[in-house]
Amino acid sequence: MVDRKLRLAGLAGASGVAGSYAVAGYTRQFVVAPIDAAVVRATPGPVVAWAITNVGTEAHLLHVALATAIAIGTLGGVGVGGYLVSRRLTGRRQFAGGVLAGALVWGLTTALTAAPLLALGSAVPVGLVTALEAVVAPAPESDGTDSERRAALSSIGTLLFVGVAGGLGWASLRDSERSADGPDEEAQSFDVSALRSQAESRELDFTSEDLPGLVSPIGEFYNVDIAEFDPDLPPADWTLSFSGEVDRELTVSFEEIQERPTEHRFVTLRCVGESLNGEKLDTAIWTGTPLKPLLDEVDPDGACGCAMLRAEDDYFVQFPVDALEDGFLAWGMNGRPLPDAHGHPVRVLVPGHWGETNVKWLSEIELLREPADGYWEKRGWHGTGPVNTVAKLWDVTHLEDGRVEVGGHAYAGTRGIERVEVSTDGGASWETATVSERLPGDDVWRQWRHVYRPDGAHEVVVRAIDGDGTVQPRDRSEAFPSGATGWVSREITP
């Protein structure tokens, strides 16, 4: 008996979650989304840090799976609970039970997602599954035989399966259409062709085809979010407020911000959580306006000279106003409106500082009196300062003539990359690599390349020298808490 109720709850919950996905897609209105956000918020900092450095980008699968399981259990539990209560009250199995189950699930889903219409996507299947169970299960007085029941159950199962599979198929079709981004060059909204050709003319001629160019295509640009489900923010609904320790408060709309002087800039981003030779390092051509004139208008006067930036996904980060003054409000990426995943409609870009300061879906800049921890700093990270210098070893190619080509990208924030050095004897002697010509802008990476004739097994080591002449430190440390350090090296056997 208990077993049957559990099975019914599982079936009802799963159909509710599938139905919600079918109507809402992988968005904030999907019933799993708010549960996932709660799971992420409740996860202790050390667990998050461990997952970021050890599980990498797949870590999100873990919390989404957990959130999905919780959603199935909750919708199923509430649905079957409602059905059983109704049955007890009316003394009979009937459709009223299904209606009550559906209504409860509708209320719960609406409360979670604030989307009453789309909440029907989970309510209707749960209502149907419980109501059908009322029909199929024999009433105590009935003499329905086991085989009749089994036949009815299996036809309901088939119907459900077809319904759910059809719904999911339709949803994924719709989602793939929605996210059909196409190549960057198509559908340009801003003319960034001049910068694009500057980048192309400076790219090194690698024999290997595996090395990224100087501008990362939108679909390949790395992505780090605290929320699995991006905010969905129409530009017309977006505003940015300057609040707190200011002389004049100010709120600007998307339209107003776009009327300001517009620039296109190359800016590189790097996540403090990436491993030493990781790939959370990318560059785009951003379109936007400088922040300084807006800050001058509000005239910050807080004692700490610091600001808290807040975003639509409840992300927040604190760092010095000085750093913010060099910042840029961007609404374009590689010639297109900022994509949802990268902060649509507006994000901030802070030159030379770790990725986490580059707040997406930016909604508020609060000037503070005293410093306070941001989202990641509360979780133990120290990632609001300038980036560490790094030379990545992203490719080793054995050329046909027996030589070896090694290459990658190097980045040192606003200090710039002066030189990249390569050792092919484990760090005993060093040679200077070819680097790509500097791109305009004061926060951009460079490519490097070196070709040599190997002599047996050996160890390649690379290091960058920044614009101040400082050599990338050799001492190794993990990404947590303030960014990986050390030289990237690789054993090579001919």
Ligand X SMILES: Nc1nc2c(c(=O)[nH]1)N[C@H]1C(S)=C(S)[C@@H](COP(=O)(O)O)O[C@H]1N2
Contacting positions for ligand X (CB under 6 A): 221-226, 269, 271, 311, 313, 315, 342, 355-356, 358-361
Out of 184, 228, 340, 356, the only residue in the binding site for Mo ion (CB under 5 A) is: 356
The residue within the footprint of Mo ion, chosen from 212, 231, 355, 441 (CB under 5 A), is 355
Nearer to ligand X, 109 or 283 (CB): 283
Considering only 224, 226, 341, 372, the residue that binds Mo ion (CB under 5 A) is: 224
Per rule CB under 5 A, is residue 408 in the interface with Mo ion?
no
Identify the burial level of 344 via C-beta atoms within 10 angstroms of its C-beta, where 0-12 means exposed, 13-18 middle and 19 or more buried.
buried
Going by C-alpha positions, the residue among 78, 90, 73 that lies closest to residue 130 is 78
Q: Least distance from C-beta 270 to Mo ion, angstroms?
A: 8
385 vs 454 by CB, closer to ligand X:
385
- 361, interface contact from Mo ion, ligand X, none, CB < 5-8 Å by kind: ligand X
User: Which residue number, 269 or 294, has a Cβ lying nearer to ligand X?
Assistant: 269
Question: Which residue in the shown chain puts its C-beta closest to Mo ion?
Answer: 271
Q: Give CA torsion, residues 385, 372, 41, 30, to 10 deg.
A: -80
User: Please, which residue, 355 or 486, has the CB nearer to Mo ion?
Assistant: 355
225 binds, among Mo ion, ligand X, none (CB under 5 to 8 A by kind): ligand X
Q: 48 vs 240, which CB is nearer to Mo ion? A: 48
State the binding string over 166-205 for Mo ion (x if CB under 5 A, else -): ----------------------------------------
269 binds, options Mo ion, ligand X, none, Cβ within 5 to 8 A by partner type: ligand X
CB of 355 to ligand X, least distance (A): 2
Residue closer to ligand X by CB (options 54, 154) is 54
The verdict on 366 binding Mo ion (CB under 5 A) reads no
Query: With binding defined as CB under 5 A, does residue 313 bind Mo ion?
Result: no
- Closest to ligand X by CB, 16 vs 383, is 383
Q: Site mask, Mo ion, residues 262-281, x = CB under 5 A?
A: ---------x----------
What residues line the site for Mo ion (CB under 5 A)? 224, 271, 355-356
